[in-house]
Structures are given as C-alpha cells and as structure tokens.
Amino acid sequence: MRAAMQEYIDAFNRRDAEAVIALYADDASVEDPVGTEPKVGIEAIAEFYRYSVGLGAELSLVAPIRTSHANSAAMAFDVQVTLEQGPCLIRVIDVMTFNEAGKFTSMRAYWGPGDMAFQPAD
C-alpha cells in the first residue's frame, strides 16, 4: 500500500496522468474533495486525472504514509499549484482503500476552503 501511495505522488509530479490512472481499479471512486460528487469508474477517474495532472501541481508528502490493520492507508501532503487567482498551497490528506490486486478502490481527499493559502506574487 505504501509503495502505491508513493507512486501516486511520484507519478503526479512526473505529470504522468496515465501512471496515476493505472493505480486505480476499474470500479473505483474518487471523492476530491470530500463533500463533492464522487467520480465513479475508471473512465470518469481518467478524465479527472488527465485534467488535474495537466494543471502542473507539485505534491510533497509532509509526513510518512500511514497504513492500517485493514485494506486502507492515508497520507498528508501539500499541493503547490498555480490557479487563475495565482500560486496556491493546498493542504490535503488522502485516504485510499485497496483491493487484493493492490489497486485503489477508493480515494477520498480531505481539504476545504480553509486549507488553501494563496501566495502573493513576487
């Protein structure tokens, strides 16, 4: 689980959307952020990552990945991305569940408006 979570970060930073998508099971769901409509199924997930990886975000783990006593794991990271309003830091915790093949069956991203910090231009 730890290796798959790390590959998620690394593939995102390589801007390799297809490698991110390949981490998911066909029937997976993605709720990013938690509280919005989940993307269900690999087609909707692929569309989401082709768009979001294309934004050029940089993901940095802020602490070691946590696992569990079951088929789920969690990680805290910061996202640095340039939005229309300018450069922005978004503080996120992702929780993934896994199937027996080691693919993500669900991802839920915890972040809210208060976890975004816009940075002044230089």
- Binding site for substrate, residues? 94
CB proximity list for 70: less than 8 A, separation 6 or greater: none
**Which residue lies nearer to its own copies by CB, 16 or 72?**
72
* Residues at the contact surface with its own copies, assessed by CB under 8 A: 2, 33-36, 62-64, 66-76, 78, 91-93, 95, 110-115
Chain centroid offset of residue 118 CA: 20
Q: Which of 24, 26, 27, 32 is catalytic?
A: 32
**Which residue lies nearer to its own copies by CB, 5 or 53?**
5
Known binding-site residues equal: 94
Note if 8 is an active site residue: yes
Cα distances (Å, whole numbers) of residue 98 to 16, 54, 81, 101, 107: 21, 25, 27, 8, 9
Catalytic residues: 8, 32
